Structure 1
Amino acid sequence: MHYDTDSVGLSVEVSDDTLREGMQTPGLMFSIEEKLTIAQAPKEAGVRRMVVAHPPAHVSEVEATREIVRRVTDVKVFGLGRALRSDVDAIASTGANVSIHLPFEGGYERALEACKYTKDRYPNLELSVGLVDVSSYSHERLVRTAVEFEGAGADVIELPDTTGRLTPRRYGDLVRRVREAVSCKLSVHCHDDRGLAVANSLAGVEAGAELVEAAVMGLGERNGIAD
């Protein structure tokens, strides 16, 4: 699903995260068959990109991802994992593209190595890298980190407001600074702790992001993400 924004001259794509982020909704659980059914709905709505599972977490997540890759065609499917070789291999074994997130505690050398490993070992897969909790970064550190991971092979840099602390002006400013420093695609992933997930996502688009991560009904961890 693409949305042409006349005000900023961008074509913006929705990335559906219902099956991955939605599984973190308190009390919610999807069976594999339910995941397959749910995966068809965004496709029918025009979505062509979705993050469907966390394959390194459990064999059922591996199975679900493989089945979605096999049965939901004409959609770019991603599995999520940590920035570790073992997680990358688990995701790649399903046939899905690779989405990895950085460690919360910093120490990015191993994560950079995992990115380079992904592009060397699986050159045909798209690599998306999430810079976890962008509100905890200084502007300079965020830009520097984004540049480093683009250099390590990231096709997409995700900018998650993991704790939902930011406001549209602050989040848009962060996205704009990263946009000025990198040429790869940027993706916004905003949590709704303050009820600002949609507003922050739109601010990120106006600042230059090409991808918006969202979930049906805003499902997700804590108060969810953009609806």
Structure 2
Amino acid sequence: MKAARITVYDTTLRDGAQAEGVSFTVAGKIKMALRLDAFGVDYIEGGYAGSNQKDMDFFSAIRKYPLKRSRIVAFGSTRRAGRKVRDDSLLQSLLAAQTGAVTIFGKAWILHVRDVLRTTPRENLAMISDTVAYLKDCGREVFFDAEHFFDGYKADASYAMAALEAAVRAGADAVVLCDTNGGALPAEIYEATRAVVRALRVPVGIHVHNDGGMAVANTVEAVRAGAVHVQGTVNGIGERCGNADLCAVLPSLEFKMGLQTVGREALRGLKDLSVFADTILNRRPDSRAPYVGQSAFSHKAGPHVDAVNKNPRSFEHVKPEDVGNRRRVLVSELSGGTSVLLKAIELGVGRAGARKAEMR
């Protein structure tokens, strides 16, 4: 039986760029986009159309590069309250980006409708439907990011669902449930996502932030509940505490849940992708990052090293080479004979199959 396919939507160049200490050049964004395309993600969110000239320059420049698999996406918002779609400058910028796919965010939490937009619940729903319909009429593939969906669902489930339904009726190709504040718990994500999947007949996606340290777990729970589209960033960079880290999400979905994302062959380049992104941004790689960190498959305690030498599954949840990483043996006062033996062999001092006694 063929594994279920999960759409991979990378937002490193947009949401990732909102992280403290992160700033891409146009050239850097192009290099990152080409690397993501080679890696095999389905969609690359290139920037926030109309918010700054750099992102518009990127949308113009990237058209010169034929991509093999990925589609470039321009990000924007619904029309502003009290304004017609054709008169909204940000929507015109979204079209000027000339991408085949666009993502717009709209409010799904009544608190934001009243306190931030300062408009009526009815007008907010009209803003969503008018914008989606307009972009569909212009020939775009449209994703609707339901901003603050999970907070909105807890406060007023019927209104949060009404926001999704407004987008669907207007022709949205998919709706994406957003934990924009990043504070939801996995059980909450599962229950709300499951309800949405059962209620709607369009693909459902997930976009979460990491303010509670749950972004990867929440993404996995949403997929378990029926989401078929995942959004995240390379190395989890993003606003405040970051986004769901695709370097942890993708191998978890492939190796732990048997789902298809970019494919297992592509995942052998996962560590290289992680390092590439950090290099572009002049960041030091996180040595303790799951799957791709230098310490992810490092063993220090003597009993651990001895066990891994006998059977790697004893202390490794996946094969390091499956994500482009490698096993490392550390030597310290905690080391046993096996640790010293394996390190000696690594350094060319000993030989495979040598007995511990020979190395004393």
Q: Which amino acid aligns with 1:83?
A: T
5+ long unaligned stretches in structure 2: 80-84, 114-120, 246-360
Q: Which amino acid aligns with 2:27?
A: E
Deviations 1:44-92 (A, max 9, x none): 2111211110011022211112222431513211111111233332122
**Counting strand residues as a fraction of each chain, which structure ranks higher?**
1
| 2-structure distance, mates of 1:80, 1:72 | 20
1:50 maps to 44
Q: Is the 8 A contact 1:88 1:98 kept in 2?
A: no
Q: Which amino acid aligns with 2:237?
A: L
Task: State which drifts further: 65-74 or 186-195.
Answer: 65-74
Q: Is the 8 A contact 1:62 1:91 kept in 2?
A: no
5+ long unaligned stretches in structure 1: 5-9
| 2-structure distance, mates of 1:162, 1:69 | 30
| 2-structure distance, mates of 1:194, 1:68 | 35
| 1-structure distance, mates of 2:102, 2:90 | 9
Q: How does 1:97-112 map to 2 (within 5 A)?
A: 97-103=101-107, 104-105=112-113, 107-112=124-129
Deviations 1:110-152 (A, max 9, x none): 23211111112x12x1001111111222332222221221001
Equivalent of 1:17, from 8, 11, 14? 11
Task: State which drifts further: 82-91 or 35-44.
Answer: 82-91
4+ long deviations beyond 6 Å: none
**2:96 counterpart of 1:93:** yes
Q: How does 1:71-150 map to 2 (within 5 A)?
A: 71-74=65-68, 75-84=70-79, 85=85, 86-96=89-99, 97-103=101-107, 104-105=112-113, 107-120=124-137, 122-123=138-139, 125-137=140-152, 138-150=156-168
Q: Is the 8 A contact 1:115 1:154 kept in 2?
A: yes
How large is the RMSD of aligned CA atoms in angstroms? 1.6
2:357 maps to none
Equivalent of 1:29, from 13, 23, 26? 23
Larger RCO (CA within 8 A; separation ≥ 6): 1
| 1-structure distance, mates of 2:75, 2:177 | 15
**2:212 counterpart of 1:197:** no
Deviation of the 1:95 alpha carbon: 1.7
Q: Is the 8 A contact 2:128 2:166 kept in 1?
A: no
| 1-structure distance, mates of 2:233, 2:66 | 18
Q: Structure 2-normalised TM-score?
A: 0.58
Deviation of the 1:212 alpha carbon: 0.5
| 2-structure distance, mates of 1:117, 1:199 | 35
Deviation of the 1:216 alpha carbon: 0.6
Deviation of the 1:178 alpha carbon: 0.9
Q: Is the 8 A contact 1:139 1:177 kept in 2?
A: no
Q: Structure 1-normalised TM-score?
A: 0.90
| 2-structure distance, mates of 1:115, 1:70 | 28
Q: Which amino acid aligns with 2:188?
A: R
Q: Which amino acid aligns with 2:90?
A: D
Question: Radius of gyration: which is bigger?
Answer: 2
**2:230 counterpart of 1:212:** yes
| 2-structure distance, mates of 1:36, 1:113 | 32
| 1-structure distance, mates of 2:160, 2:22 | 33
Q: Is the 8 A contact 2:146 2:178 kept in 1?
A: yes
